[in-house]
Amino acid sequence: MEYRQLGRSGLRVSAVAYGNWVTHGSQLDDDAAAACVAAALDAGITTFDTADRYAQGRAEEALGKALRGVRRSSIELCTKVYLPVGPGANDSGLSRKHITEGCHASLSRLGTDYIDLYQAHRYDDTVPLEETMTAFADLVRQGKVLYVGASEWTAPQLRAGQRLAADLHIPFIANQPQYSMLWRVVEAEVLPVSAELGLGQLAWAPLAMGVLTGKYEPGQRPPAGSRATDGFGGSFIARYSSDLLLSRVRQLRPIAESAGCTMAQLAVAWVLHRSTVASAIVGASRPEQLAETAAAATVQLDDDLMAQIDAVLDELVERDPAKTARPNDVMPAWR
C-alpha cells in the first residue's frame, strides 16, 4: 500500500481507503462487515470513511465495532455531517447545533474519542458559513476533531471555506468529490482550486458504482446481489446503464490486460494517477474484493494507456462543472 499526504497537511492516508456507504448496516450484517474491515487492514488500508447518514447511523456503529481492538493511532477515521439523521427541524444541515450534536453522536457510534477528518457532507446555503466553520473550529479546539474537510463543494465554496478556516486557524485540508473515468465534473474548476488551496481529494465512487469492474453486460440483467439490484444503490447506477456505455466499458478490458491488472484495478489506478487525489474510496461486500482493489495502489499507468482510455470513453464522459454539487440528487429525505 502507498500512503499519501492529504493536501498540504501532515496527515497521511492510504492511497486506497475503505468506505462503507450502502454496505455496513444495510447490505451486510456485522460479521460480514467485520470480515471486510479485517481484509482492508490486511491489505494495508488505514483510512476508513463513513457518515452519520449511512444506514441511519448503523454504518458508523458497524465500523466502530469492526475496528474495536485496533490501535487507534494506526488508522484514520473519517466521517461526515449534513444529511438528515432524523425527522426534526435541526436533524440536518450545517448549523452549530447539528454539527455539535452530530459530532458527539458519531463519536459514540464509532466508539472513539476523536475523529481524524470531519467533513461537511454537502454545502448548506441556509446557514452562514461563519457559523459552520466556527462550530468546526470549536470541535477542533476541544480535541474531538483533528482535521476538517468538505464533500461535493464547488470551487467558490471551497475557497470561501478555506479563507474562514485560515482566519480561525483550523486545518481545512480535504474535499471528497465523486470522481471516476466516467464522472469528471470536478476537473474544470474544483481540482485546480483544490491544488491552489492545498486541499487533497478523497475520491468516492472511483468504480462508478461497480460499472467499471465490467460486471454489468449490455443487454443482460444485472448479476444477482449486485448494487444495481439494490433499490437505493440502483438509483445511482441508472445513469450508467445504457448498452452503449456498457459496451464501451467492455473495451477497457484489453487495456487493463496490457497494464497487467483487472478492470477494477485499472479504474482505481486511473483516479490515483491524478496528482491532486490522495486516496480513492472503495467499498466491498466481500473481503476478497478489497484484496483486489487495494492492489491498485501499485499499478502504474503511462500516458499512452491514459490516452487509450480517453479514446474509448471520451464521448460518454460527464464533464459539466455545474453538476459538481449535484452528483445524482437522489439522496432521499429522512423516513
- Catalytic residue set: 54
Amino acid occupying residue 237: I
Contacts of 66 (CB under 8 A, 6+ apart): 24, 30, 33, 34, 36, 37, 38
d(CA 89, CA 94): 12
d(CA 323, CA 239): 14
Beta bridge partners of 118: 79, 148
Owner of C-alpha cell 492529504: 6
The CA–CA distances, whole Å, from 299 to 2, 235, 249, 266, 307 equal: 11, 31, 19, 8, 16
Contact 115, 107 (CB under 8 A): yes
DSSP 189-239: THHHHHHHHT-EEEEE-TTTTTGGGT-S-TTSPPPTTSGGGSHHHHHHHGG
50 three-state secondary structure:
coil
What's the Rg (C-alpha) of the chain? 19
Quick count: other Cβ atoms within 10 Å of Cβ 314? 10
Q: With CA atoms as reference, report the closest residue to 13 among 42, 60, 37, 49.
A: 49
* CA triple 128-132-20, angle to 5 deg: 130
Amino acid occupying residue 127: V
